[in-house]
Amino acid sequence: MNALTVAKFGGTSVADYAAMTNCTSVIKGNPDTRIVVISACSGVTNLLVELAKGNVALDRQKAILTQLADIHFSILEQLPEKPSVAAAVNQILVDVSTFAAAADTSPSDKITDSLVACGELMSTHIFTHLLNTQGIDAVRVDVRDILKTDDVHGKATPDLVETSHHAQTILRPLCDEKVVVTQGFIGSDLNGNTTTLGRGGSDYSAALLAEAVQATTLEIWTDVPGIYSTDPRVAPAAKPIDEISFSEASEMANFGAKILHPATLIPAMRQDIPVFVGSSKAPKQGGTWIRREAEYSPLFRALALRCNQTMVTLTSLNMFHAYGFLAEVFNILAKHKVSVDLITTSEVSVSLTLDQTNTKGGAPTLPDAAEKALSKLCRVTIEQDMCLVALIGNHMGESRGSAAKIFGALEDFNLRMICYGASNHNLCFLTNTNESKDVVKALHKELFEAI
């Protein structure tokens, strides 16, 4: 099979005309790039989510629509005029207004998906036009004709069989002659209704398409040159990572490293597709390769931080030397579609964190009905304003003295919940939000900067 690269560009990479132009240079630099997956322009999705929540004052709605128009037409004004592209963007803005009015009356996950998808629909019209003006023969494809999902709005599950069929019959033939530009983050159910893969799902979309067309490489282009030992904005001494394994990168993404969507690597792992992460602003700086196995596997690889965490503590004396309590708890959570992230237990209580996976963002909440059902079983305590710190590494549970080194660095901090032992690749704990960055700094200094 000929080499085929799928390249995904995030919101900051397509924020404005200059940023988009950098992306065209990246595409020109690799003739194997045949599918380009684009996010909404930076800041657009946040504006659309605000509209989707409903109860937005009319003046604010108008201001948001004006801001959306300014973002997109400021780019078009710097390109040769093409009435069909301007008309397409204007029509999507009309759709935004219509969906916003519907959300104001009766907000729903279905309307939210239709609204937030408009960002990618607009950015891809503009980016395809830019590529063509740069001498690249590009065609825009609506990913909703390719990426099929179930009908769960806010966090749809891809239908791999249908997606593969459409990718092979529609996308793959186009790749032989043109560069295909399509949208990240969105898809459609089998009835044609717009769905989304959850906030930040553009990376995941790109990986699903790479798997479906049997690509040889997946590139994720963002605003930082690869993956670092932690966020350089938190710890300025953070070190770049040249190569990392799928397992380590998956842990990092799952525990808050914003450079990758948590589900991104699953399709790549299934097809053993190497993934490159780099900066569209500085592609010559290199980046990070993610492969099935890394040549070097250190004890401590990286630190990740995930905030907006919600901890639920369930306390009942009926737990003591009893069985079936946890089964009842998780039956209730499953019934109300509550996703659990971390869990720890004692003789009379269990603490767990809630997973936030849908489009709405913010701290995850325990639905009122679930809280009411749990309260009949035990005492329920809900705490927010916490962050999850995760230390990613290799064979940490098998290395004597590693725990002492880790917790020695944290002796001045209050740790609320600790999870260790379920995986040899991570140790994670909750801490108060106001201490979280200091925790990361202290750990990074002890484990990475002293080397």
pLDDT digits 0-9 by tens, 241-254: 999 999 888 888 87
- Going by the DSSP 8-state scheme, the letter that residue 158 receives in this structure is B
Rounded percentage of the chain residues whose pLDDT exceeds 70: 95
pLDDT of residue 321: 63
CA distance 356 to 102: 25
> Span 104-123, mean pLDDT?
95
Consult the annotation and say whether 223 binds a ligand: yes
pLDDT of residue 251: 83
pLDDT at 111 over 70: yes
Please name the residues in contact with 21: beta carbons below 8 A apart, sequence gap of 6 or more.
130, 134
pLDDT at 156 over 60: yes
Consult the annotation and say whether 45 binds a ligand: yes
pLDDT of residue 8: 97
> Span 129-136, mean pLDDT?
96
pLDDT band at 257 (very low <50, low <70, confident <90, very high): low
pLDDT band at 82 (very low <50, low <70, confident <90, very high): very high
Consult the annotation and say whether 310 binds a ligand: no
pLDDT at 439 over 70: yes
pLDDT of residue 442: 93
> Span 36-63, mean pLDDT?
95
Consult the annotation and say whether 17 binds a ligand: no
pLDDT band at 256 (very low <50, low <70, confident <90, very high): low
CA distance 42 to 59: 23
Consult the annotation and say whether 233 binds a ligand: yes
CA distance 148 to 156: 9
pLDDT of residue 451: 60
pLDDT of residue 361: 57
Average pLDDT, the chain: 91
- Topology at the third CATH level for domain 5-222: Carbamate kinase (3.40.1160)
* 120-124, 129-133, 311-315, 336-340: range with lowest mean pLDDT: 336-340
Rounded percentage of the chain residues whose pLDDT exceeds 90: 68
pLDDT of residue 240: 92
pLDDT band at 365 (very low <50, low <70, confident <90, very high): confident
Consult the annotation and say whether 11 binds a ligand: yes
Q: Coil, strand or helix: which one is 383?
A: strand
> Span 279-285, mean pLDDT?
90
Strand 287-291, strand 275-279: pairing: antiparallel
Contact 429, 417 (CB under 8 A): yes
* 1-5, 18-22, 186-190, 239-243: range with lowest mean pLDDT: 1-5
pLDDT of residue 405: 85
Q: Locate tokens 């304003």: which residue?
A: 385
pLDDT of residue 360: 56
Consult the annotation and say whether 408 binds a ligand: no
In CATH, the architecture of 301-449 is 2-Layer Sandwich (3.30)
pLDDT at 423 over 90: no
pLDDT digits (tens, 9 = 90+) for 138-152: 999 999 999 999 999
Query: Which amino acid makes up residue 13?
Result: S
Contact 120, 183 (CB under 8 A): yes
pLDDT of residue 262: 72
CA distance 95 to 344: 46
pLDDT band at 407 (very low <50, low <70, confident <90, very high): confident
pLDDT of residue 320: 64
CA distance 174 to 139: 9
Domain boundaries, the chain: 5-222, 301-449
pLDDT at 395 over 60: yes
Consult the annotation and say whether 292 binds a ligand: no
φ, ψ at 342 (rounded to 5°): -110, 155
> Span 331-350, mean pLDDT?
87
> Span 44-66, mean pLDDT?
94
Consult the annotation and say whether 9 binds a ligand: yes
pLDDT digits (tens, 9 = 90+) for 287-340: 999 999 888 889 899 999 988 899 999 998 876 666 778 888 899 999 998 888
**Tokens of residue 3, six digits:** 């080499």
φ, ψ at 149 (rounded to 5°): -135, 180
CA distance 271 to 290: 13
pLDDT of residue 356: 63
pLDDT at 180 over 70: yes
> Span 103-123, mean pLDDT?
95
Q: Coil, strand or helix: which one is 343?
A: strand
